[in-house]
Amino acid sequence: MTDVLLTRDLLKLGFDPVELRGQVARGDLTRIRRGAFVRDPLPPDARREAQHKLQIMATYPQLGPSSVISHGSAAVLHGIPVWSGAISHVHLTHDRNYGGQERRLVRVHGTPLDDADVAFLEGIAVTSVARTIADLGRSLPLEQSVAAGDYALSLGLSAEELAKVLSGMRRWPGVKGARRMASLLDVRSESAGESASRVRIHLDGLPTPDLQRVIFDADGFKIARVDFVWDEHRTVGEFDGQGKYNELRPEGKSKGDVVDDEKQREDRIRDAGWEVARWGWSDLYHPGVIRGRILRAFNRAGYPLLTATSTDSAQRRTG
């Protein structure tokens, strides 16, 4: 991790403000926030999580002793990916029932903290993984909190740990959303897009799919491992993240090669008697698009969702 240099420490080493401004102008120092710098320029492709971690490292020494890094900022320190909106500020929590406020760079939350809610990472007080996910469940849209929670399960968070934290949040703002988030978590999810897709499928009132299944042909040979499966409708669902075509594509293969491989793979799935519904990131934010594709796949397979209307009605009553 790049060391963060504070103005007060640089002044103690003999630098003066004019010299510091000159180093910033030359690119020898990069200002992370007021009063904090790093030695080298940030690479233009630096991930937002890495940039935010620098902001945390620059901010934490200037905070009071009761400050605990929390919410999206805690997720970054725990290595849990979050949407950019969750880290637009450095989030911190004080152990009290009041005092929430938003400043230009810092968002302060005032909520009780038990000893078990606090961990220390690289010398920084940070909310535990369970408390972090509970806080994200209270404050983020459902698809974002579920994606973070799914990832936390893969890091070792247990449903019991999360339930214990949520049990202490009775009547806290947003706790109903956090409980709903907890009920949807699944360790089998392999990407944020798959997690968000599962939330959309749930909100659209569709049957709950099985996850990460291997499809075989009539001779018992493996055809593919797919994201979502509805056995009763002979349909598979695939989230089309761009990673497979860009940074995650196999070495030596072009984007066109990957597209061709995907087409052949889908043909093999269809030849084995399955229908396929596909969608990508842009479809997640247009309610009804994914639902329509899945229902049309059900219909093509000859197993229409006859209870779609009643399911939608029930969803509206409980949603």
Q: What CA–CA distance (Å, rounded) separates 206 from 211?
A: 15
DSSP codes, 192-229: HHHHHHHHHHHHTTPPPPEEEEEEE-TTS-EEEEEEEE
> Between 302 and 33, where is the model more confident?
302
> Between 75 and 258, where is the model more confident?
75
Facing residues of 101 across strands? Answer: 108
Tokens of 99: 């005092």
Percent of the chain having pLDDT more than 90? 61
**Residue 172's pLDDT band (boundaries 50, 70, 90)?**
very high
Highest mean pLDDT among 20-34, 163-177, 257-271: 163-177
The mean predicted confidence, pLDDT, of the chain is 87
Q: What CA–CA distance (Å, rounded) separates 178 from 170?
A: 11
Query: What CA–CA distances, in Å, run from 32 to 1, 18, 45, 59, 295?
Result: 14, 18, 16, 9, 49
Q: What CA–CA distance (Å, rounded) separates 5 from 25?
A: 16
> Between 144 and 261, where is the model more confident?
144
pLDDT over 60 (residue 106):
yes
- Residue 83's contacts (CB-CB under 8 Å, 6 or more residues apart) are 140, 144
Q: What CA–CA distance (Å, rounded) separates 241 from 172?
A: 35
Least reliable range by pLDDT among 124-138, 156-170, 171-185, 303-317: 303-317
Q: Residues 44-84: pLDDT tens digits? A: 655 788 889 888 988 888 888 899 999 999 999 999 999 99
Strand, coil or helix: 146: helix
Mean pLDDT within 4-28: 80
**Residue 313's pLDDT band (boundaries 50, 70, 90)?**
very low
Sign of CA dihedral 234, 236, 237, 240: negative
Q: What is the pLDDT of residue 306?
A: 62
pLDDT over 90 (residue 28):
no
> Domains along the chain?
1-46 (no CATH), 64-184 (no CATH), 192-318 (3.40.960)
Q: Which helix (H) or strand (E) holds 308?
A: helix 308-318
